[in-house]
Amino acid sequence: MTTAPLEKPTSIAKPRLSHNAIFWIGFCVVMVLLIVAPMVLPVFWRRFLTEVLIWGLLAMSSDLLIGYTGMVSFGHSAFFGLGMYGAAAALLLVSPPSLWLAIGLGLAGAAGAALFVAYFSTRLRDIYFAITTLIFSQIFYVIIFTWTPVTGGENGLIFTRPHLTIPFLYDARFTNATMHWFVLAVVTASYLILRRVTRSPFGMVLQSIRENEARTRAIGYPVERYKIVAVMLSGLFAGLAGVLYAIQNEFAAPDFVYFITSGDTVIFNVMGGIGTLVGPIVGAGFFQLIRELLSRLFGDQFPYLIPLGVIFIVMIIFLPQGLLGFARRWLNR
């Protein structure tokens, strides 16, 4: 995106590049950088980038609620965790483990959780919605944490990575690079789908709910139904992030269903800029980068969340739009 103005003089056909062209040029540049990354980066940073993409997908899914519908969810860990455990179930029960079955079952798990949460918590607004999503995610945490025979309880589940298969075309073990590209492909596809959704008539109704719920209802839109679909959609993408995380790390643990994950998701959103879809990914990167930096400077024992919490509060007060907030209107045009 930053290189876009440089293209200006070279285009002869039109005096000014259209908004769309600039967007797609920027998109391609970022994509090329991300595709090349695993070939040039050292192992640690390659893994770091892959994880940032996964966290970014989780944050992006929650942006559909926070940024576009105006509902702050503090319960995205439930969807993320159910996606993780769904994938774990598919990988442990079926042999040979199948990647697509894992994704399917993970999404099914997340959809189940999302349906449950959506049905109950969309009855409430604003703060009440935030609290009830938090409480519902805690229900899933308690179930997963205490149901040891099935979920492995505190220890979680360990499994092996499935092969990367494309039916009839390709079948090989995941390498670090193909894992990165696979994650990148899924995150990019999710971004494009979510971008399409937010610009569709459905997305417009969601934004109208954010701006003025009473008026939207008065015009005649069934607000509750729109909200339920929004939560479910958001939950599905969060579940997808959970599946990716499970495959990347080869385990499912109850810690990821705990509230901390939901809290991090909200922090990514606020830091990156809500209502931009790409902002949350940037926020996730920013958060993880500062965290890495702090633990390198002061050692592993350093409570990195204290300075991050201070940065978070300062950003809420002085930079409520987040890092990419300045581009919000432009990205949604």
Partner 1 sequence: MNTIIAFIQNIPLDLLLIQTVNGIVTGMILALVASGLTLIFGIMDVVNFAHGELFMLGAYVGVVVFALTGNFWIALILATMIVAILGAAMQILTLRPLIGRDPLTTILATFGISLILQNYVLWQFGPVARKISEPITTHFNLFYLEYPWYRLVIAGLSAALIGLFWVFLKQSKFGVWIRATTQDRVMAQAMGIPVPWVYTGVFAIGAALAAASGVLFAPMAGVTHTMGLDWVLKAFIVVVVGGMGSLGGSIAAAIFISLLEAYAAIWVSPAQAVIVSFIVLILTLLFRPTGLFVPTPK
Distance CA 96, CA 160 (A): 10
Distance CA 100, CA 167 (A): 10
Binds partner 1 by CB under 8 A, chosen from 155, 173, 309, 329: 309
Instruction: Report in angstroms how near the CB of residue 75 gets to partner 1 at its nearest.
Output: 12
Where would I find the beta strands (DSSP E) of the chain?
157-158, 164-166, 170-172, 251-252
Residue 132 or 190 having the CB closest to partner 1: 132
Instruction: Report in angstroms how near the CB of residue 255 gets to partner 1 at its nearest.
Output: 12
The alpha carbons of the chain give a radius of gyration, in whole angstroms, of: 20
Residue 192 and residue 271 in contact, taking contact as beta carbons nearer than 8 Å = no
Interacting span for partner 1 (CB under 8 A) from 16-24, 51-59, 143-151, 325-333: 143-151
248-277: which residues touch partner 1 (CB under 8 A)?
259, 263, 266, 270
* Count of residues that bind partner 1 according to CB under 8 A: 35
Binds partner 1 by CB under 8 A, chosen from 110, 113, 308, 323: 308
Q: 44-73 mask for partner 1 (x: CB under 8 A)?
A: ----------------------------x-
Instruction: Report in angstroms how near the CB of residue 234 gets to partner 1 at its nearest.
Output: 16
Distance CA 10, CA 322 (A): 33
Is 150 a residue that touches partner 1 (CB under 8 A)?
A: no
Q: Which residue has the tokens 């990156």?
A: 272
Binds partner 1 by CB under 8 A, chosen from 108, 139, 229, 327: 139
Is 120 a residue that touches partner 1 (CB under 8 A)?
A: yes
Residue 208 or 248 having the CB closest to partner 1: 208
Q: Residue 312: is it exposed, middle or buried by C-beta count within 10 angstroms (0-12/13-18/19+)?
A: middle
Structure-token pair, residue 197: 């959704």
Q: Which residue has the tokens 């949460």?
A: 117
Structure-token pair, residue 112: 């189940």
CB atoms within 10 A of CB 304: 18
Is 135 a residue that touches partner 1 (CB under 8 A)?
A: yes
Binds partner 1 by CB under 8 A, chosen from 32, 36, 172, 310: 310
Instruction: Report in angstroms how near the CB of residue 99 gets to partner 1 at its nearest.
Output: 34
Binds partner 1 by CB under 8 A, chosen from 92, 101, 131, 319: 131
Interacting span for partner 1 (CB under 8 A) from 117-125, 192-200, 228-236, 244-252: 117-125
User: What is the identity of the amino acid at 263?
Assistant: G
Structure-token pair, residue 172: 């090989």
Residue 74 and residue 242 in contact, taking contact as beta carbons nearer than 8 Å = no
Distance CA 83, CA 332 (A): 29
Instruction: Give the contacts of 143 (CB within 8 A, at least 6 positions apart).
Output: 151
Is 127 a residue that touches partner 1 (CB under 8 A)?
A: yes
Which residues would be at the binding site for partner 1 (CB under 8 A)? 72, 120-121, 123-124, 126-128, 130-132, 134-136, 138-139, 142-143, 145-146, 259, 263, 266, 270, 303, 305-306, 308-310, 312-313, 316-317, 320
